[in-house]
Amino acid sequence: MTKKIMISDVELILSEPADVDMLWVGNEDIINELKAAWMIVDKNDLPLNPRILGKPGVGKTTLAYATGKMLKKPVYIFQCTMDTRPEDLLISPVISSDNKIAYVASSLVSAMIEGGVCLLDEGNRMSEKSWASLAPLMDKRRYVDSIIAGIRIYAHKDFRLCVTMNSDSSTYEIPEYISSRLQPKIYVEFPNRADEMNILSYNVPFSSEEILEYCADFLQNAHVHDEYTVRDGINIIRYYMKSRALNGKDIHRLNKKEFKNAIKHVLENYAVKYCPDEYEKFMDEKEGRNQGESLF
C-alpha cells in the first residue's frame, strides 16, 4: 500500500524501501567499520556519512544493504547518474489520477522520513549542483529544502546515509565541501580465496564444487594483477552452465576449454591467461620479458 505523509500542508507519497536478496559474505571487519560510522555515542553526537570505495563488482552495494538490514532498518537505494537533478534526489511532481499535481518523495527523502538507511549508489556520477542540494543534510542541520514542493524536510534521528563510489571511474569531481562531509572512507578490497569461494557458492548455489574451485583460482590469479571481480566470476559460471544446458551437456561437470570460452565471452580473450592451467606459463613469459627489458 502506498504510504503518504503531510509536511507543511504538502502531501508526500513515499517510495518503498528496497527488498532484495543481498547477504554480505566474507570479511566481518568491514561491516563493523560501517556500523561504527553510523553509531551515536552521545546525545550531542551525529552519525557520519561514510564513503564506500572499490572497484565495480567487489560488493559495495551489498555491504551497505546488508549492514542496514542487520541493524533492522529499511534500506533505500538511489542510483546516481550524470543526469541526476536535485529534484530527482528530493521530491518530484507528478500528475495524479484526478489530474492534480502530486509530490513523490525520492528514496532518499523517504529514508529521511522513515528513519531508514539511504545508499546513494555510484555517487561520483552526480554533478555538483545535485550534491549541493544535500550539503545541509550531511552536517548538523540534517535537512533538505525542496524548491519544487516548497518545503523543508528534517531527517529522522535514526536516518543513516552512505555513498558508494567506484574507485576507477568518476564522471564528476566531488567538490571539497562535499568530500569533507563524506567521511570516513571504507575500502572494499578483493576477497581472499576462502571468502571468494563462499561468495561464489552463495550466488551460484547450483554449481558444482569443481567449477567453483576453478573459477576461484582464476579470480585469485587475476586479483594479483588488479583485474576482475567476483561479479565477473558469477557471470562466467552462469554463462558456462547455461551454454552447457543449451547443448544438452551436464552443467555440473567442468570442461576447461568450454569454461575458457565462457571467460572470453564475458570478459576478453586475454583473460584466459589467469586460468589455473594457463597462469604459470603466463607468469614465466612475463618474467622472461621483464628480464629482457632489464638488459637495455
Return the closest-CA partner of residue 198 out of 52, 20, 62, 10: 62
Looking at residue 19, what is its pLDDT?
93
Return the closest-CA partner of residue 233 out of 224, 245, 221, 225: 221
Kindly state the average pLDDT of the residues 228-250: 98
Cell of 45: 553526537
- Three-state DSSP class for residue 276: helix
CA 164, chain centre distance (Å): 6
In sequence order, the 6+-apart residues with CB closer than 8 A to the CB of 66 are 22, 23, 24, 31
Residue 184: asked if its preceding bond is cis (omega within 30°), the reply is: yes
35 confidence band (pLDDT: 50, 70, 90): very high
Looking at residue 133, what is its pLDDT?
95
Q: Is the pLDDT of residue 84 over 80?
A: yes
DSSP run (H or E) holding 282: helix 276-294
Looking at residue 2, what is its pLDDT?
82
CA 9, chain centre distance (Å): 36
Residue 237 in contact with residue 211, Cβ under 8 Å?
Answer: yes
- CA pseudo-torsion sign 148, 96, 12, 128: negative
- pTM across the whole model: 0.88
Q: For the chain, how many residues are written?
A: 296
Percent of the chain's residues with pLDDT above 90:
85
Summarised one tens digit per residue, pLDDT across range 52-72 is: 999 999 999 999 999 999 999
Quickly count: other Cβ atoms within 10 Å of residue 105's Cβ.
25
Looking at residue 290, what is its pLDDT?
65
Summarised one tens digit per residue, pLDDT across range 112-161 is: 999 999 999 999 999 999 999 999 999 999 999 999 999 999 999 999 99
What secondary structure letter does DSSP report for 106?
-
Summarised one tens digit per residue, pLDDT across range 151-175 is: 999 999 999 999 999 876 667 888 9
* 206-225 residues labelled b (16+ CB within 10 A) or e (exposed): ebbeebbebbbbbbbbbbee
Q: CA-CA distances (angstroms) from residue 270 to 5, 260, 288?
A: 55, 10, 18
In sequence order, the 6+-apart residues with CB closer than 8 A to the CB of 34 are 50, 52, 63, 64, 67, 162, 186
Average pLDDT of the chain, as a whole number? 93
Q: Is the pLDDT of residue 105 over 70?
A: yes
100 confidence band (pLDDT: 50, 70, 90): confident
Looking at residue 169, what is its pLDDT?
60
Cell of 263: 571467460
Percent of the chain's residues with pLDDT above 70:
96
Cell of 38: 553510523
CATH 3.40.50.300 fits 4-187, yes or no: yes
Q: Is the pLDDT of residue 296 over 80?
A: no
- Three-state DSSP class for residue 48: coil
Looking at residue 295, what is its pLDDT?
47
Give CA–CA dist 96/103, Å, rounded. Answer: 9
Give CA–CA dist 166/161, Å, rounded. Answer: 17
Kindly state the average pLDDT of the residues 40-47: 96
Lowest-pLDDT choice from 10-14, 35-39, 169-173, 199-203: 169-173
Return the closest-CA partner of residue 23 out of 56, 58, 64: 64
291 confidence band (pLDDT: 50, 70, 90): low
Sorted by where each begins, the domain ranges of the chain are: 4-187, 193-294
